Amino acid sequence: MQHLLITIFFTLSLFLTGYGQEDTAFISESAKEQVVDRLIEQYGEEESARITRGVHHLASLWLEADGSPTAFHDFCLKQFIPSGEALDQAFDIAEQQFEAINGYRRELSLKLDYPVTTMIRPVTELDRMFAGAQFQVDFFKNKLAMAIALNFPFFTLEEKERLGPHWSRKEWAMARLGDQFDFRVDPEKEPKPTSLPDELRDYTSLYILSMDQVLSPRMEVLFPAGTRLNSHNGLRDEIKGLYSRKDPLEKQRILQAIIMHIIHQTIPACMIGETPYYWEPQANKVYAKEGKKFVEVDYSAEAGTRYRVLHHNMTSKMRQDVKYAAGSTYLSRTFDNVQLSESKIVSLLESVVGAPEKKAVAAMIEKRLGRKLEPFDIWITDFDERPDVDMDQLDRILREKYPTPMAFQQDIPTILQKVGFRRFEADFIGSRIVVDPIPSGGHANAPQMRGANAHLRTRFESDGLNYKGYRVAMHEIGHNIQQIVGTYMTDYYLLKGIPSSPFTEAMADLLAYRNLVALGVNPDYRVRERQSNALAAFWFVCEIGAVALHEIRVWNWLYDHPNATVDELNEATLEIAKGLWNEYFAEIYGIKDVPIFAIYNHFISGALYLHSYPLGNIVMMQLEEQFDGLDFAEELIRVCKIGKLTPDQWMIEATGNPLSAEPLLKATREALEAL
């Protein structure tokens, strides 16, 4: 019955879609039909739909270098596997071998990258060379990819959305095996590489500011000795953290001034990285210290380097378009990977960023702060007017509790128990997480085979983990839970994971919002805390949703103006940022033309990833609605085991409904009424 369903689905969709990459001219229509006819003659009409689809898809991948049309014909006749026991065995072999290939390749990459990504010792050029080594397997060279493509053909996203609700788990896994070789890049179309100068190679990662040499207008140093903040993460997170500290406003305004200088490229170049100089950002003046006196000195602004890097990163990705089928762009490929169309992503984001609830939330923030909103208030995260403990106390608790990465690593099973996991579950997951210190930010590195560990990475200060690093770590634990459950508990290896990046961000934030529960400050995830977190999630989606819309609009602008210069891209970036601010925030804030959405380093990298964060919180709130009143850990494990379906199908299995922003908006309205 299982394979009959597969055959029916092949038949239903065969004539409604293409076959991945456009057909090459090398294998003619008549050559394909000859192969199809021979195979149907050999295996029967019941295999005709699957044969036709497999042969056409393989023909789209076959290059002249792979052999003559006769070689194509012979390969298909020899390698086609009929449905039944033989195909089941081939699928089982592919599952086992891809787990081995992906798993050991990840372990090797993890080892080579380790000195560069962590803080175990100073990084050398040799370290960078080892980290940059590429260990790729050409599955087309030995024709393995051809055999997979012939027997497990590729389904488009539209087909998966239409047919997937009727598929069994194994049929889904077989479809994901077909995704392994959905297209092939013709090496003859490989564009010549371009590169930035060596000094700009690590531009965003080395963009560190010495805050203990930043001055107030009164010529006072406001930040403690040794304070180093990177742009954008460190500057933004410092603004966030200051809301819970005494007298934050002056520091926040200075941080905002720094952000604006970076965006406008008026920041003194000498203040990026370690420096002997002092900087007063409000007046944008640089000083040398002579004895106890500050003496003003001349300086050169960074003046466009940021947008030079952006231009290079974006155009480098656009130049890759020639390798793909006609009409394929970096934009379309990105959203295909996310399994959500650009129009659907934009619609979801705009439904929140433009929601009428935003005015009421802004009014609540103003009331709490006792002042008119300023642009940097887009980053406020704490909506609880009666926090149980202040930030300084949290820092002290955490430094004492977690002085080293190992101390935190050893406590992860306990942390998991506090948020609701049973002891055996907490021990199983927690024992498979390794904690690594990194210079800034945070990320999680997933195991790719059973027997491997997940890696959690966050920043540890010299005296231990502070609250900022701890909250990042809780976010990464959420990623790790999803990674470990997917690797060890999902029924099929090829289904492990989740639909796309927004869903893993949702898993991460489910834990991040429970950080005080995990710390033992609040023993339960209380109603009031859920309400405060709903408001925080809404405000976050408004902010980062606008940032994501900015990134998408800039990408579309550059595709509309492919010959734009660095200066023209710079101007467009700022104008688009101001336009979004004016459209969605100017009325609330009472100020126009603020380009603050252009600060994110993810954007400068050209990664087109920022939409994952707001969509992740939209997903998270839909899951929170589902989890309410149920066993949190049990539900979290259940949804992590669903695997890599399409977004709507995954969400239907997780919550009973397709992906929607309505649960977030509903929770926001309820929180506004309650608080």
What confidence tens digit (pLDDT) does each residue in 464-508 have? 999 989 999 999 999 999 999 999 999 999 999 999 999 999 999
97 within domain boundaries: no
Q: What are the DSSP calls for 326-385, one per residue?
A: TT--HHHHHHHHHTS-HHHHHHHHHHHHT-THHHHHHHHHHHHHTS---GGGGG-----S
Confidence band, pLDDT 50/70/90 cuts, at residue 19 = very low
State which residues form the domain around 215.
200-303
Read off the pLDDT of each residue in 374-402 and give the average, rounded to a whole number: 84
Contact (CB, 8 A) for 535 and 368 = no
Six-digit token string for 348: 């979801």
Does one domain contain both 531 and 460? no
pLDDT at 524: 64
pLDDT of 189-214, one tens digit each?
A: 888 878 888 778 889 888 999 999 99
Read off the pLDDT of each residue in 265-275 and give the average, rounded to a whole number: 96
Does one domain contain both 46 and 185? yes
pLDDT at 607: 92
Find the Cα–Cα–Cα–Cα dihedral 389, 394, 400, 402, rounded to 10°.
Answer: 130
Does one domain contain both 275 and 317? no
111 within domain boundaries: no
Pairing of strands 454-458, 433-437: parallel
Does one domain contain both 549 and 648? yes
Six-digit token string for 352: 């929140």
581 within domain boundaries: yes
Q: 438: closest CA among 113, 103, 109, 106?
A: 113
Q: What percent of the chain has pLDDT over 90?
A: 80
Does one domain contain both 233 and 356? no
Does one domain contain both 551 and 605? yes
617 within domain boundaries: yes
435 within domain boundaries: yes
pLDDT at 525: 61
Does one domain contain both 49 and 183? yes
pLDDT at 344: 96
Does one domain contain both 451 and 562? no
| Domain end point (choices 443, 471, 506) | 506
Does one domain contain both 538 and 460? no
Does one domain contain both 181 and 32? yes
Does one domain contain both 555 and 633? yes
Whole-structure pTM value: 0.90
Confidence band, pLDDT 50/70/90 cuts, at residue 123 = confident
Domains identified in the chain, total number: 4
Contact (CB, 8 A) for 35 and 54 = no
- The more confident residue out of 516 and 387 is 516
pLDDT of 597-636, one tens digit each?
A: 999 999 999 999 999 999 999 999 999 999 999 999 999 9
Read off the pLDDT of each residue in 540-562 and give the average, rounded to a whole number: 98
Six-digit token string for 442: 């945070």
456 within domain boundaries: yes
Does one domain contain both 635 and 543? yes
* Beta-carbon count within 10 A of 557 CB: 16
| Domain end point (choices 156, 189, 222) | 189
119 within domain boundaries: no
Burial environment of residue 507 by CB neighbours within 10 A (0 to 12, 13 to 18, 19 or more): buried
What DSSP element (H or E) covers 179? helix 169-179
632 within domain boundaries: yes
